[in-house]
Amino acid sequence: MAETRLDKYRKYRESLNEVKAITNDEEGKEVRRTRIVNDTTNTTSTLPLEEVLGQIDQEQEDTSTRILTVKKIKIGLLISLGILLIAGIVIFAAIAWRN
């Protein structure tokens, strides 16, 4: 029959106790001391929040202006094609109905 949850949890607690016993030796204590962050070892390479947010805002502005210019170009082309089509129809009608 399968193990119960209590048996599994008991084994888990025992394994944790073994790990704690191993880490209490001198090597474990030295490793923990070297991992402590204080003013002298706090040399991070993180960027300031303002700089990161500024870059994000600048990037969004660049893409939005590019999208607007593409839309403006498409609208301009459609308007010019419409005007040319209407002018062609008017000229054709004038020539066809002149006789």
Contacts from 58-63 at CB under 8 Å and sequence distance 24+? none
Q: What is the pLDDT of residue 68?
A: 74
Q: Are 61 and 69 in contact (CB under 8 A)?
A: no
Q: What is the pLDDT of residue 61?
A: 62
In this prediction, residue 11 has a pLDDT band, given cuts at 50, 70 and 90, of confident
pLDDT in tens, 36-95: 766 665 666 676 777 766 766 666 666 666 777 888 899 999 999 999 999 999 999 999
**Burial category of 28 from C-beta neighbours within 10 Å (exposed 0-12, middle 13-18, buried 19 and up):** middle
CA distances to 19, 36, 37, 53, 55 from 33, in Å: 18, 5, 9, 35, 38
| Domain residue limits, the chain | 1-35, 70-99
Full-model pTM: 0.36
Q: What is the pLDDT of residue 86?
A: 97
